[in-house]
Structure 1
Amino acid sequence: MVKRQKLYDLLNEKILVFDGAMGTMLQKNGLTTGCPEEFNLDKRKVIKRIHKEYVNAGCNIIQTNTFGANRIKLAEYNLQSKVEEINRAAVKLVKEMAGEEVLVAGDIGPTGKLMYPVGDLSFDEAYEVFYEQAKVLIESGVNIINIETISDIQEARAAIIAVKDAGDVPIICTLTFNTEMRTLTGSDPETVATVLEALGVDILGVNCGFGPDMMIDIVRRMSSVTDKYIIAQPNAGLPKYIDGITYYDLTPEKMASYVEDLINAGANIIGGCCGTTPEHMKIIKDKVKNLRPIVKEEKQFTKLASVTKTLIITEELPTRVIGECINPTAKKYLAQAIKDNNLSLLCEEAIKQVESNANIIDVNVGVNLTEESSVMRNAVYEIQRVIDAPLSIDTVNFEAMEEGLKACAGKPLINSTNGEERHLDKVLRLAKRYGAAILGLTLDEKGIPKKAEERFVIAERIVNRALEYGLKRQDIFIDTLVLTAGAQQQYALETIKAIQLVKKELGVKTVLGISNISHGLPNRAILNSTFLGMALNAGLDMPIMNPYIDKMWEVIKSADVLTGKDLNAKIFVESFNDEKVVEKTIEVNEVKIIDKLTKAIVSGDKNSVPLFIDELKANGFRALDLVNNCIIPALEDVGNKYEKQIYFLPQLLLSAEAAQKAFNELKEELNRSTVSNVGTIVLATVKGDIHDIGKNIVSIMLQNHGFKVIDLGKDVDSDRIIECALKEEADIIGLSALMTTTMNEMKIVTESLKSKGLSIPVLIGGAVVTEEYANTIGAFYSSDAIGAVKQAKLIINK
């Protein structure tokens, strides 16, 4: 095991070279079928030879052949009982070839399953799977753990936490992006960097997906928000397919020509993914010999993140606001909704607050007689799928806090801790473990001090303890607390003084729950907004407030203009021009029930769908009318949002689930004589390929658009596919492949159809499949599920 500082010294001194593709090299050695990880047991000489070739090419880090050596992936080959044996053997093979100077990275790939709530893999199950593999790799003596090719930030979180628990070893984590620079579940480069940094990885970055040209901007964007070391592992360009052989179009020399740009963008380690070979890495090694890493400086701004977006909090940008309205205290309707497990109401409240310009949404579900842990977990899952704002996990219940943090697939704020040692210790442990920022209240076991100086002492204690735990100063917020002016008028200014002390002496961000100042007094909006202005002048960074109150925004937006936070008064002008005011006065608030059903499907609110359908039926709406005038238009709207990068995979699938719920509710009335299928399609992942996430997503979307889908599953040979297509009188055959080694099976299907004189159209897709390849085999192509639906409809209508 390499000590972290030694690794950091190397990274500060020079550019390191990671090895290249294992799959490509296995293919070159004739190993195109079977479980690649099992080759550690029965094809040891081949694996050792590949490792040795990368060592001879000058690679500084060699990874184990364990990409799919977790129990879920191995179960596809009935090898789940051999997790330990395979991983131990893999480490041994690398160590025998690596020598003293080369570092050994234990390779951990994804589970191949979608995480809840998009899929059915829970956070805890993913954690256990990753922990099991990481423990063996670390005990076997790897220097580094490399978590790679992850497409869901939540799966990355589970893997990183598992590795940290398995042993003290440097961690690399890379995610893979699409051409829109988003992960499968919608995270952009800044968000990936923000979340991984908060979780404490040593090196973060990007691998697979495409060549080095497109990777440059991803590295640059990551580097703009983090000072962490960055790794880039591009493919050798794009896959080409000629005469039954797959190759990648970037020569070693051409690939190496991008290296300097990657380094200037912020990369410290250059490696290779699909299509790269020892020849590629040797040329890259020669290229980096005279290049040095750029000097990285710590970012002084604060970052929070949702799944899809990072929020920067700094004195140079407009004031950020925490929306306080998801709180059942004194809100009977919310308390009852939580007791009834009606989380749709919480989601609506979150959406409205974001629409009212709240930047962070506070989530408080503390109601008597509820199991707060499970409610918090489910509330976070539901809320984060309908908004793109970061969350504040608001609870004093440690179990509920941890469940909320597990469920939150971004970088949240913990609201809150305080100066009481036992409480502070528990919250800091959770913040460090799950990668969260903290909000510290200036109170302790004695209560809230009256004087500003006494509150400052508690604030200082919180900050110092947080720094000792390894939190960054930028991830610490202090709330100097507001006492009610009605009962304790003499202490109102102590809060303001305390803010000034914290800003001057501690240099951390400040937060304040504004509305408590006016509790029990009339005309609360004026008192709140006046106090807010005083607090902002004293250095308040983020108010916690009701974002629906215009007077509060008037103060914030005016202050931002006068302090230079709103450059050229852009936001102020947009908010308060006369035209906007006129528009607001003629707004129509009444929403028709049919529009509510449409909105529920678009937002993925499946729980509300049956209620709206029952109401519509009671008002005489026919099922067929609802399908044609509501459900199908809603799905088309979702598709448009997905194409415009407003929606991402989680929203797409949840909307599809809501639509399916609607179809099920209407099933009895939709008799088969009046509702015909758009067409019949046989779907399959081709022979030799065990990956089916993409195919399953396509299946869901096709069904919701009226297609009859016969899903044959994965690893399906051409004869069975064609036999089923004939039996079902299929209009289309849909084929998926993730690996270059299985792409040829698509050609076998099209050629077999041709030889039999059959003209069934074939629609293909998958990570390695291109439109060019589709054209060469006489097939139609789509890059994603929405495109597959459109293409299928075009084929049917020809």
Structure 2
Amino acid sequence: MIQQEITKRILILDGAMGSVIQEYGLDEKDFRGDRFQDLPGLIKGNNDILNLTRPDVIGDIYERYLKAGADIISTNTFNAQRISQSDYGLCDFVREINETSARLAKKAAEKYSTPGKPRFVAGSVGPMNKTCSMSPDVSNPAYRELTYDQALEAYMEQIGGLVDGGADVILIETVFDTLNAKAAIDAAVRVIDGRDIPIMVSVTISDAAGRTLSGQTLDAFLASVSSYPIFSIGLNCSFGARQMKPYLKELSRRAPYYISCHPNAGLPNSLGLYDETPETMAPQIAEFIDEKLVNIVGGCCGTTPAFIEKYAPLVVGKEPHQPVEKPTSLWLSGLELLNTGEATFVNVGERCNVAGSRKFLRLIKEKSYEEALQIARKQVEDGAMVIDVNMDDGLLDAKAEMVHFLNLIASEPDIARVPVMIDSSKWDVIMAGLKCVQGKSIVNSISLKEGEEVFLSHACDVKSMGAAVVVMCFDEQGQATSYERRIEIAERAYRLLVDKVGFLPQDIIFDPNVLAIATGMEEHNAYALDFIRATEWIHQNLPGAHVSGGVSNLSFSFRGNNYLRESMHAVFLYHAIQVGMDFGIVNPSAKVTYDDIPQDHLTLIEDVVLNRHPESAEQLMELTGETGNTSETSQTSSTSASLNLEERLQEALIKGNGEHLDDDLKEALAKYARAVDIIEGPLMAGMNEVGRRFGEGKMFLPQVVKTARTMKRAVEILQPFIDSGKTEGTGTTGNQRKVLLATVKGDVHDIGKNIVGVIMACNGYEVIDLGVMVPADQIVARAKEEHVDMIGLSGLITPSLEEMVNVASELKKAGLDIPIMIGGATTSELHVALKIAPVYGGPVVWLKDASQNPLVAQRLMADAEGYNEELNRTYAHLREQYIQEQQQLLSLDEARRRKTKLFE
């Protein structure tokens, strides 16, 4: 039904559930009801439980939004899955919460539906309070607190309840980690199981660079979900309408879906409140509508039925957005988009393959992962557009190594920006790898060698994970070696994938088998030519499909002669690309190009590759004595050599690359009087630059975390020298400083806090993380028990601000003056100056972003008293300014009394 309505008109989505719940003044007893009196801890703030304890309130909110004109009301289930509800001990009630909420909403929707204006229920599925794509453990970046399978199971339980309760559509919203979102989409597809229940997806942009919290660009996110059966895609949260509009325009130009948008009521002001009103927001929403950018429009944080009431008339008679055509090219992604339609040839880096690189195999066996990552990084720097990863070796636990290495890659943004090809002959390894990547990856590979049943099963697995797939030209009879067998298998596989599985043709990449030529066996001489002919046939007869191949196999006969091998690859690629080969697993650092080959060598090599005459292979053997191994050349880093010591140290932090850190720090120790001066000098200068770039949106979160790890390594190198030469007043001791972190009572958001924990741990601090919903008395008790040096308080929602004031008051009552660091989306320096600092005796510092924490902590530990005096002067000035501004403002009644009279 909703599919029919959206083609006729723009639909109105409701506003924020949480913002309206706050209007009812509910307390702990409302959240507990009769059923949850014995539940330990506080549960106020867990709005989802109100479906069971105060259904009258939730039902009333549904009806208020419907009266205001909403066509779609979303269920009160944003956090209603067991990952988030485990914090409250409510896992056993998850399905009931979702089903009850959907039933309440369905009852209200049916009450207000008319033949001319049907109303719909969207089952709200939030992002969870844990992420699949980042590690919370600084010492183990490959660790994940949440796995794909755990997320999938939790989402299936939640969505099952929503569907049973009567949800008309599933809304997967506020997506900040695409891997979490993929699990939610996968769960929705499985639960829906062919029923007429569309899937809406809405992502949130978290920084000025237009990226999600997990680092993806908007285009990369679109690529990641491009293979799923999605009804609409959109933006919500984080921004107000004005800030969201550029990204909405980008989305409407690129996304082949219906477009939704439900922005916040502007950005939070300095006190954590929303300044936009229904009257000021409506004209901004009208721009979305008039410019035909949307099909569904509503509100997020801070919006209420009063906002929706203003939006509803704006859509009357207005033409909805017309989705663009689906791209015919393959879209892949890491943190950034790779649109294969914009590339003549996609070169896949081959060196992270234990079967093809002895060095990489050795490094993996030795657990030398940092060096192994350098191989991946070098490939990207040399131009690899995709990284192939293969861990198949008899002495390796391939599944464990694949998961570990892909998780490590995710922590390296300069590598993770490109897509991954997950390469294995073991299906459990491939599936494990797919569950580690948030981007759209490539599976290498599936084939018909075990028959159609296994082939179709594997294809369905790949499709459920939103990946593209390499199809090897194998069948039950074996490997295709002739032109005829190659095209026979390719056509059969194509029809199965497109017609039976529903694969997008552009997500299919055929590998017609690159085989060794010039082996001395006559039957091998046509292998390259037959591959090229098959490529041309596939390109002409299987619309949308791509062709790839492992190019190094071609020259296997000439191992040891790199010049000749690279020349053969260059010739092969030159001819294959012309007829449609658009992927290839190659060495991106190869130095020989087609135009580099001397004419006499070129003629001979082309004779071999194109099988022009039977003697060409033997003649090529004679050429090996002339060429030798001439491609080996030494390389130096001119960029590094041109920088002075301080610039090199800063660059190491900014790039997060500690390859030369040991040598540079040894040089610095000879130059600086004290080791601590190195930290306070060039290293802190580098961290300051990182903070500046992050604040300007020129760096994003994974890069900041990587920088922090490099800083940690630098401090570890310098620590013995600091300990042996420490002096009074430096703020450095032989004991590790402790920082206590907590999301305050009433708030379950902890992504930002976890990031701070990672960065602080990277900078040498012992982090004590109390988690979320932490009452003030627990913070005080642990602070005293652990003798912490600093306390970090986090909160995302507005009520957190008041609780932070309470925490500061309780700390003071306990006789503590430990420095407090304040962070979170709704916090501000002005709020600290007005509300928190006045009730506390010790330093209270507001931090704009996570990158600032180590810098502030270093100042606090070096001279807390002096820093506190500086802060107090700043806060006094802010308070004075604020008071003056308030005195200049008149009350509404007074302003009306003094209005200018135009006519006497």
Contact 1:194 1:225 (C-alpha < 8 Å) held by counterparts: no
User: Which position in structure 2 is the counterpart of 1:145?
Assistant: 170
TM-score (normalizing by structure 2): 0.75
Aligned to 2:847: 782
Please list the CA deviations of residues 418-465 of structure 1 after superposition, one character each: whole Å capped at 9, or x if unmatched. Answer: 344345323311221100111223332333445434422322222222
- Show the 5 A alignment for 1:155-166: 155-166=180-191
User: What CA distance in whole angstroms lies between the structure 2 residues aligned with 1:623 and 1:157?
Assistant: 53
Residue of structure 2 aligned with 1:372, choices 384, 389, 398: 398
Q: 1:16 aligns with which of 4, 11, 14?
A: 11
- How many residues are paired up? 760
For 1:471, the aligned partner's letter is F
Range moving further from structure 2, 23-32 or 476-485: 476-485
Note the alpha carbon deviations across 1:227-250, whole angstroms, 9 max, x for none.
0222211001123477xxx64222
Query: 2:541 matched to 1:505?
Result: yes
Q: 1:643 Cα shift?
A: 5.0
Identity of aligned residues (%): 32
Q: 1:733 to 1:648 in 2, by over 3 A?
A: same
5+ unaligned residues in a row in structure 1: which ranges?
1-5, 557-581
In structure 2, distance between residues paired with 1:397 and 1:621? 54
Q: How does 1:581-660 map to 2 (within 5 A)?
A: 587=638, 625=675, 628=678, 642-643=694-695, 648-653=700-705, 656=708
State the partner residue of 2:896.
none
What's the counterpart of residue 433 of structure 1? 464
TM-superposed CA distance for 1:116, in Å, is: 5.3
Structure 1 counterpart of 2:324: 297
- Find the residue that maps to 1:485 and give its secondary structure: coil
Instruction: Confirm whether residue 287 of structure 1 aligns to residue 304 of structure 2.
Output: no
Contact 2:708 2:762 in 1 (8 A): yes
2:15–2:299 CA contact under 8 A, matched in 1? yes
> Any idea what the Cα deviations from partners look like across 1:561-608, whole Å, max 9, x if unmatched?
xxxxxxxxxxxxxxxxxxxxx9977849999999999999888799x9
- What pairs with 1:315-714 in structure 2 (closer than 5 Å)? 316-386=342-412, 387=415, 388-420=417-449, 421-468=452-499, 469-487=501-519, 488-507=524-543, 508-521=545-558, 523-552=564-593, 587=638, 625=675, 628=678, 642-643=694-695, 648-653=700-705, 656=708, 671=723, 674=726, 677=731, 683-705=741-763, 713-714=771-772
Q: Distance in 2 between matches of 1:674 and 1:709?
A: 23
Counterpart residue number, 1:565 = none
**For 1:712 and 1:385, how far apart are their aligned partners in 2?**
24
Equivalence for 1:175? 203
Q: Structure 1 CA distance, aligned partners of 2:293 and 2:322?
A: 9
Displacement of 1:631 in angstroms is 7.5
Shift of 1:282: 1.9
C-alpha spacing 1:431/1:787, structure 2 compared with 1 (3 Å): same
Structure 2 match to 1:133: 158
| 1:408 to 1:750, Cα distance in 2 relative to 1, 3 A | closer
| Preserved CA contact (<8 Å) 2:134 2:214 | no
TM-fit CA distance, 1:690? 3.4
Contact 1:151 1:184 in 2 (8 A): yes
Larger radius of gyration between Structure 1 and Structure 2:
2
Contact 1:486 / 1:519 at 8 angstroms: preserved in 2? Answer: no
Distance 1:348 1:127 in 2: 33
Task: Choose the corresponding residue for 2:822, options 752, 761, 764.
Answer: 764
CA shift for structure 1 position 756: 11
Deviation at 1:494, TM superposition (A): 2.1
Q: Deviation per CA, 1:392-439, whole angstroms, max 9, x where unpaired? A: 111221111111111122100112223443453233112211001112
Please report how far the alpha carbon of residue 350 of structure 1 lies from its aligned counterpart in structure 2 after TM superposition: 0.9
Q: Using a 3 Å threshold, how does the CA distance of structure 1 residues 729 and 549 change in structure 2: closer, same or farther?
A: closer
Cα shift at 1:303: 4.0
Offset, 1:489: 1.9
Contact in 2 for aligned 1:233/1:271 (Cα 8 Å): yes
* Code of the aligned partner of 1:335: L
CA distance in 1, matches of 2:375, 2:673: 30
What is the letter of the counterpart of residue 503 of structure 1? Answer: H
Residues 447 and 472 in structure 2, CA contact (< 8 A), matched pair in contact too: yes
TM-score (norm 1): 0.84
Q: Cα–Cα, structure 1 residues 594 and 334, in superposed 2: closer, same or farther, change >3 Å?
A: farther
SS at match of 1:389: coil
Q: Residue 150 of structure 1 aligns to which amino acid in structure 2? A: V
Give the conservation status (yes or no) of the 8 Å contact 1:394–1:401.
yes
Residues 32, 741 of structure 1: 8 Å contact kept = no
Instruction: Indicate how the Cα distance of structure 1 residues 32 and 360 shifts in structure 2: closer, same or farther if over 3 A, else same.
Output: farther
Q: Could you tell me how far apart the structure 2 residues matched to 1:478 and 1:642 are?
A: 41
Which consecutive unaligned segments of at least 5 residues does structure 2 have? 29-43, 137-144, 598-632, 838-843, 871-904
1:575 maps to: none
Q: CA deviation at 1:728?
A: 9.0
**CA 414–624 in structure 1, closer or farther in 2 if over 3 Å, else same:** farther
Structure-2 separation of matches of 1:398 and 1:596:
44
In the aligned structure 2, how far is the partner of 1:157 from the partner of 1:227? 18
Q: Tell me the equivalent position of 1:276.
A: 303
Q: Which residue of 1 aligns with 2:179?
A: 154
Following superposition, the deviation at residue 309 of structure 1 comes to 0.6
Aligned to 2:411, what secondary structure does the other structure show?
helix
**Aligned mates of 1:586, 1:436 — CA distance in 2:** 37
Does the C-alpha gap of structure 1 residues 438 and 261 become closer, same or farther in structure 2, counting only changes over 3 Å? farther
Contact 2:480–2:512 (Cα < 8 Å) also in 1: no
* Higher alpha-carbon deviation: 646-655 or 52-61: 646-655
Alpha-carbon distance, 1:775 to partner: 5.0
Distance 1:234 1:505, change over 3 A: same
CA contact (8 A) 2:269 2:826 kept: no
Alpha-carbon contact 1:301-1:312 (below 8 Å) kept: no
Note if contact 2:159-2:188 (Cα within 8 Å) is conserved in structure 1: yes
Tell me what 1:70 maps to. Answer: 81
Secondary structure (helix, strand or coil) at the match of 1:142 reads: coil
User: Given that residues 133 and 437 in structure 2 are in contact (C-alpha distance below 8 angstroms), is that contact kept between their aligned partners in structure 1?
Assistant: no
For residues 689 and 547 of structure 1, what CA distance do their matches in structure 2 show?
48
* Cα distance, 1:417–1:76 mapped onto 2, change above 3 Å: closer
What RMSD over aligned residues (CA atoms) do the two structures have, in Å? 4.2
Shift in CA distance, 649/672, structure 1 to aligned 2, threshold 3 Å: farther
CA contact (8 A) 1:320 1:541 kept: yes
Q: Give the alignment partner of residue 210 of structure 1, picking from 234, 239, 250.
A: 239
Are the equivalent residues in 1 in contact too, given 2:712–2:764 (CA < 8 A)?
Answer: no
8 Å CA contact retained: 2:740, 2:767: yes
**Distance apart, 1:670 and its partner CA:** 6.0
Q: Is the alpha carbon distance of 1:721 and 1:356 closer, same or farther for their aligned partners in structure 2, counting shifts above 3 Å?
A: same
Describe the shift of the 1:430–1:680 C-alpha distance in structure 2 as closer, same or farther (beyond 3 A). closer
Whether the 8 Å contact between 1:413 and 1:438 is mirrored in structure 2 is yes
Query: Comparing 445-454 with 625-634, which one deviates more in the overlay?
Result: 625-634
Give me the whole-angstrom Cα distance separating, in 2, the residues matched to 1:435 and 1:299. Answer: 16
Cα distance, 1:767 vs structure 2: 2.1
Displacement of 1:353 in angstroms is: 0.6
What is the aligned counterpart of 1:252 among 278, 291, 305? 278
CA distance in 2, matches of 1:763, 1:586: 41
Quote how far apart the aligned CAs of 1:346 are.
3.0
